[in-house]
Amino acid sequence: MSLKRKDLVSIASLDPDEIMLILETADSFKEVSGREIKKVPALRGKTVVNFFFEPSTRTRTSFELAAKRLSADVINFTASSSSVVKGETLLDTARNIEAMQADIIVLRHPSAGAAETLARGVKSSVINAGDGWHEHPTQALLDLFTLREKKLSFKGLRVAIVGDLAHSRVARSNLYALTKMGAEVRAVGPPTMIPAFLDRLGARVYFNMDEGLRGVDVILMLRLQLERQGPAFFPTIREYSRLYGLTTERLKLANDGVLVMHPGPINRGVEIAPEVADGFASVILDQVANGVAVRMAVLYLLSGNN
Amino acid sequence: MDASEVARALTRIAHEILERNKGTEALALVGIRTGGVHLAHRLARRIQEIERTQVPIGELDITLYRDDLASRKDQPVLRKTSIPFNISDLIIVLVDDVLFTGRTIRAAMDGLIDLGRPAEIQLAVLVDRGHRQLPIKANYIGKNIPTSAEEIVRVCLEEEGEEDRVVILKE
């Protein structure tokens, strides 16, 4: 089987077989990252453009490494250094990039739907590396990959996603991905940060963190986006941290062998205590390492289809 | 070829490998996915029966080294490469089921050399069906089977739930 689509815009549009194909392909690519010569010639002669309208280190570096390990040529664009500041529209900039024979465009954009718009407008493959509050599909895929590596089966796995679910594309992509694979998802956070009707997407809502963590197998902490949120959603950071921060005591409420995940960058001492972030249950750095393998898989699978 | 012919050919190849390399020192087998992997394991078993030593076995997936990746419509399924030893300075015997155009072997050699610098690469195949498109030759051959380019040579193996045999299918 192969991925019969031009773009990867969202997890919502993938079916479970496609998700499994990506995870299994990533499994093969993980071996490449462990070699002395971390390079294979699969995408030789292809051009990958990293088109980032928001600051990002992890995701951009991860895509860049993935493309380079596949022998593709990589170009990085950031909004501040491109003609976007001169008033060019997203589609016009992208068409210019396409005219230079880019095969795959990786897009990070502050507006939801930007990747979809771009995918419809250009012939190149488009990979969504985060669009507004909408989705961040490769993050969810690498989270699934990490879980599969540690736990093997998604069926019946209990996962708590904790934090600001309303403004998190990571949460949305993970919610779709985990429910599609048969996991049981809980949404834990203050009422101001849990969108209405979240239960329609298949999640159970908990406003009390202790209740939400009881008996879970995986805790996925979201980053408190301090640079984006004013005081409207919670009174003080200290209060948020006391009510929804993951501490060693709270970790004990979960099942034995619980895994702690975080998409990064972490706010130590705010949503997660340092001893938990660095503790035995944490797989945060595994997530980062697996990100490269998962992105190699996505680049490889999409590169045949344009 | 029927099951006993396959078995005899593999036994002979095992002896030839040992004869040519004067034993098993610095010797390793690497099977090319998928058929070659099964044959590599069988050869290793025979070598163990003859010499009472175990030779390391690796499994190589050549998908990423194919020369038609850029021109194919959809990407072939990727499987795992697993070579749990350092191949540098070893004599590597590549094992495959059928030698045809030679393109797979070219890809396999490129793949191997990305993993290290073997002292020597040799090639063992169960069937050589001719029609080479690259200057590649096997060191150990189970059987030469003359074919036309349109025919399909199928190697069936017990490991895949079939009876051991080699059949030629007409297009």
Q: Kindly write down the DSSP assignment for every residue of chain A, as one continuous string.
A: -----S-B--STT--HHHHHHHHHHHHHHHHHHTSSS---STTTT-EEEEEESS--SHHHHHHHHHHHHTT-EEEEEEGGGSGGGGT--HHHHHHHHHHTT-SEEEEEESSTTHHHHHHHH-SSEEEEEEETTTB-HHHHHHHHHHHHHHH---TT-EEEEES--TT-HHHHHHHHHHHHTT-EEEEES-GGGS-TTGGGGTEEEESSHHHHHTT-SEEEEPP--TTT--TTS-S-HHHHHHHH-B-HHHHTTSPTT-EEE--S---BTTTB-HHHHTSTTB-HHHHHHHHHHHHHHHHHHHHT--
Q: What is the per-residue pLDDT across B123-136, written as a single tens digit (0 to 9) for each? A: 999 999 999 999 99
Q: CB burial class (10 A; 0-12, 13-18, 19+) of residue A214?
A: middle
Percent of chain B with pLDDT over 90: 84
Fold of A16-136+291-303: Rossmann fold (3.40.50)
Q: Which of A32, A35, A45 sits opposite B70 (nearest CB)?
A: A45
SS3 assignment, position B34: coil
Nearest-angstrom CA–CA distance, A143 and A284: 10
pLDDT attached to residue A99: 87
Domain boundaries, chain A: 16-136+291-303, 137-287
Of B64, B74, B75, Cβ closest to residue A40: B64
Give A123-141 pLDDT, tens digit per residue: 999 999 999 999 999 999 9
User: Does residue A104 have a pLDDT over 80?
Assistant: yes
pLDDT category, A1, cuts 50, 70, 90? low
The architecture (CATH level 2) of A137-287 comes to 3-Layer(aba) Sandwich (3.40)
Whether A86 sits among the annotated catalytic residues: the reply is yes
The predicted pLDDT at position B124 comes to 97
User: What average pLDDT does range A207-228 have in this prediction?
Assistant: 92
- Give the domains, in start order, of chain B with CATH numbers: 3-169 (3.40.50.2020)
| Catalytic residue list contains A136 | yes
The DSSP call for residue B90 is S
A87's tokens: 């008033």
Does A16-136+291-303 match A137-287 in CATH topology? yes
Instruction: Give contacts of A37 with chain B, Cβ < 8 Å.
Output: 114-115
Closest residue in chain B to residue A32, using alpha carbons only: B81
Q: Quote the pLDDT of residue A157.
A: 95
